[in-house]
Amino acid sequence: MTETTTLQNDKQLSAMNQLAKAAPNILSFLKQGDLIEAKLLARTPKAVHFDLGKYGTGIVYGIELLNAKTIIKNLKVGDPVNAKISEIENSDGFVELSLANAHHQKNWQELEDLKEKNEPIAIKITGANSGGLVAELLGIKAFLPVSHLSSEHYPRVEKADKGKILSELKKLLGQELNVKIIDLNHRTNKLIISEREAVEGSAKDLIAKYKVGDVINGIITGIADFGAFVRFADNPAIEGLIHVSELDWRLIDNPKEIVQINEAVAAKIIEIKEDRVFLSLKALKTNPWEEAAGKLKEGQEITGAVHKFNPFGAYVDLEDGLWGLIHVSEFESLEKMRDELEIGKKYNFIIESIKSDEKRIVLKLKKEE
């Protein structure tokens, strides 16, 4: 290294030190990737210049100009805009900027803030698929999974038919829903929202007035293969679920055997869990199993209709809402059982055992003499 070069380097270092002392923020703060406020200075067909104050002049050109076309077209000289630093200084001495990236980054930051606040947000549904609904928040696509719909909008279709689910979801297109952000990741462009979280949050105080054991009056608002939904008559913002096993003491294949849409019912609250209310109709009906021990005994002959088959045997409807089970072992095989028994037909059985605590009566087919 020559003496001349050493002197030049020393002068450059001295100049930088003086600059750092005069305006320390320029060197210590301004860096690639930072967001900065820029004011429109001038525009040409190939570039747009911005005033960055103490940081000098910024420029947007090339692909960045194309990407920011919609942002720039409404700006007037002196208007502020958020910009992201792409290059601290290019060959012409300008700070290269990206407006589109800054806009995108700022929106994600606002979404982070909204998630942190945990407050309901109004969104408009723009799309649907069998997995859920699609909307936009601050220009970013958001997904609302079916499992995170409120009970009011949850698609109640039998057999979880995907085609029917999609048909029900499409009815929500164009509607405005209140949601909360439950998950987001700007690196993967993931934004997940939940209507259920927003609704349950507002219903939490309403549900607090009820307790397990309360009997409520309600209206059947929906029926699915797993049960029925009931809207509280005195508090329509609350909707509870009656599981199919809680509709009646007897075996049920379809909840429509017991209840119908818009039917008024009285139901007992049997569980309140995570702001959800679970109800029972059968809890308000006489429990036939409590009387079974007094009315029935082992070895007794009883008549019943075959209700349905399963791999272990057949269920039999008995009197007064009781049911029994005849095991496949009573026959040589499942096929032979199906040959001997017919769904819906009545047969004479012998009670082999009664286990009221397990709600089980084991039967044997009476052999004809």
DSSP state of 250: S
Closest to 229 (Cα-Cα) out of 246, 250, 209: 246
Domain at 288-365, CATH class:
mainly beta
DSSP string computed for 138-201: TTEEEEEEGGGS-TTTS---GGG-HHHHHHHHHTTTT-EEEEEEEEEETTTTEEEEEHHHHHHH
Q: Which pLDDT score, from 0 to 100, does residue 158 have?
A: 64
State which fold the 118-201 domain adopts: OB fold (Dihydrolipoamide Acetyltransferase, E2P) (2.40.50)
Report residue 202's pLDDT band, with 50, 70 and 90 as the boundaries: low
Q: Which pLDDT score, from 0 to 100, does residue 42 have?
A: 92
Is residue 105 within 8 Å of residue 58, measured between CB atoms? no
CB proximity list for 363: less than 8 A, separation 6 or greater: 302, 304, 316, 324, 325, 326, 349, 350, 351, 352
Domain at 36-103, CATH class:
mainly beta
Q: Considering the chain, what is the average pLDDT of its residues?
A: 84
Q: Which pLDDT score, from 0 to 100, does residue 349 have?
A: 92
Across the strands, what pairs with 227?
224, 243
pLDDT tens per residue across span 288-338: 887 776 778 888 898 889 988 988 899 998 877 788 899 998 888 888 899
State how far the Cα of 133 lies from the Cα of 143, in Å rounded to an integer. Answer: 6
Average pLDDT on 164-175 reads 91
Between 205 and 57, the higher pLDDT residue? 57
Is residue 330 within 8 Å of residue 364, measured between CB atoms? yes
State how far the Cα of 349 lies from the Cα of 330, in Å rounded to an integer. Answer: 12
Least confident of 22-36, 131-145, 199-213: 22-36
Average pLDDT on 182-192 reads 88
Tell whether the model's pLDDT for residue 211 goes beyond 50.
Answer: yes
Report residue 369's pLDDT band, with 50, 70 and 90 as the boundaries: low
Q: Which pLDDT score, from 0 to 100, does residue 5 have?
A: 42
Closest to 345 (Cα-Cα) out of 300, 304, 302: 304
| φ, ψ (nearest 5 deg) of residue 262 | 75, 5
Answer whether 36-103 and 118-201 agree in fold: yes
Is residue 322 within 8 Å of residue 285, measured between CB atoms? no
The HSE-up count of residue 240 (CA atoms within 13 Å, CB side) is: 33
Report residue 124's pLDDT band, with 50, 70 and 90 as the boundaries: very high
Q: Which pLDDT score, from 0 to 100, does residue 355 have?
A: 80
Average pLDDT on 147-151 reads 85
Domain at 209-284, CATH class:
mainly beta
Share of the chain above pLDDT 70, in %: 89
Q: Which pLDDT score, from 0 to 100, does residue 293 have?
A: 61
pLDDT tens per residue across span 257-291: 999 999 999 999 999 987 789 999 999 998 888 77
- Position 182, amino acid: I
Sorted by where each begins, the domain ranges of the chain are 36-103, 118-201, 209-284, 288-365
Is residue 193 within 8 Å of residue 181, measured between CB atoms? yes
Is residue 279 within 8 Å of residue 242, measured between CB atoms? yes
Average pLDDT on 145-166 reads 81
pLDDT tens per residue across span 50-103: 999 988 999 999 888 888 888 888 889 999 988 989 888 888 889 999 888 787
Report residue 18's pLDDT band, with 50, 70 and 90 as the boundaries: very low
Report residue 164's pLDDT band, with 50, 70 and 90 as the boundaries: confident
Tell whether the model's pLDDT for residue 230 goes beyond 90.
Answer: yes
Tell whether the model's pLDDT for residue 26 goes beyond 60.
Answer: no
pLDDT tens per residue across span 345-365: 999 999 998 887 777 889 998
What is the CA angle 173-108-41, rounded to 5? 110
